[in-house]
Each structure stands twice: as C-alpha cells, then as structure tokens.
Structure 1
Amino acid sequence: MTYETPHRVTLETRDGRRVLDAPSEREVALMAESVMRRYEGSSLTLGFCVDCADAGARERIAFYLTDLAMELESA
C-alpha cells in the first residue's frame, strides 16, 4: 500500500532543498513558515513550490507563503 501525502511544499534555500509533507494545508503551511523564518531579511531569495490535488489549497498556501516572504523581507 502506498501512502501519498496530500500537501507538499518544496523550498529551495541557500542551504539546499527542503521537502515538507503534511496531511493538512495548515500543517504544511506552518512547517514552511518555520523554515522561512530562519531566513528573515533574505526571504525573497527562497524559492518554493506547492503541490497538492486541491487547486484552492495550492493557491491559499502559495499566497500565504508569498505574503510571509514579503513580511520577513521588511522585518
């Protein structure tokens, strides 16, 4: 039996690639936020990709992480 996590965020950082999987949209967003906060002041150098079957969830996570990157950049 194959287990497929419904929500995935892949972050590209100066320290390498991070792949975060979680069963819920909220959990994966909070996990990604935790990683992104480590790059406060240079968050716009991070790249990310959101992957899940629900297009609405994909957009919400992407918008949230984009807003967070902007907030962290100006902090």
Structure 2
Amino acid sequence: MTVAFDYEVTLATPAGLRVLTAQAEREVALMAESVLRRHGGHSPGIGFTVAGRDPGALRRIASYLVDVSSELDWEWSGNTPSSHRGMFLFP
C-alpha cells in the first residue's frame, strides 16, 4: 500500500537531513517547527526546503518556518519578539 503525501519539508540540521511529509499543510508545518525547536539555539544553521503542489501553501509553510526560526533566535539571544517594536533590517 502506497501512502501519498501533499507536502514535504526537508530540513538540513546539524545532525543531518530530516525529511518530513504529510497530507495536511498544518501537519507538516508543526512537525517542522518541532524539529526547529529541538535544535534550539542552532536554528540559524538549519536550512529548509518546502515542496508540494499548492504554491500558496508552500509560501505559508515557508513563512511560518522563517517566523519560528526568528522567534527561536530572539529567545536564545535573551530577548523576545514582543519586546521589540518597529522595523528591523537584517544584513
């Protein structure tokens, strides 16, 4: 029996590649978030790709994972995103 999936997120972590697949956009996004959180302060070193058929969903998943990574970076630097207001320009 072959199980089909609609979404795939591949994360390049310090421990190696993690390939996550799911039929639901939310499911794959939450699994990827879990992997990012497990690696804590090392999230800047984690790259990811998102694959699937729905371009809108792929943008939403990628945007969500970028936000999670940013949140983790702030937490590990001793700050929280809510304590900073305004526009930030990153080099």
* Partner Cα separation in structure 1 for residue 41 and residue 35 of structure 2: 13
* Partner Cα separation in structure 1 for residue 67 and residue 28 of structure 2: 16
Give the percent of matched residue pairs that are identical in Structure 1 and Structure 2. 53
TM, length-normalised to structure 1: 0.93
The one of the two structures with greater contact order (alpha-carbon pairs below 8 A, sep at least 6) is 1
Structure 2 unaligned segments of length 5 or more: list them: 76-91
Structure 1 unaligned segments of length 5 or more: list them: none
Higher relative strand content: 1
Equivalent residues in 2 for 1:1-75 (5 A)? 3-75=3-75
What stretches of structure 1 move > 4 A for 4+ residues in a row?
Answer: none
Amino acid at match of 1:40: G
Alpha-carbon RMSD: 1.2
Larger radius of gyration: 2
TM, length-normalised to structure 2: 0.78
Q: Paired residues, what number?
A: 75
- State the 1:73 CA deviation: 0.8
In 2, are the aligned partners of 1:41 and 1:74 still within 8 Å (CA)? no
* Partner Cα separation in structure 1 for residue 58 and residue 49 of structure 2: 9
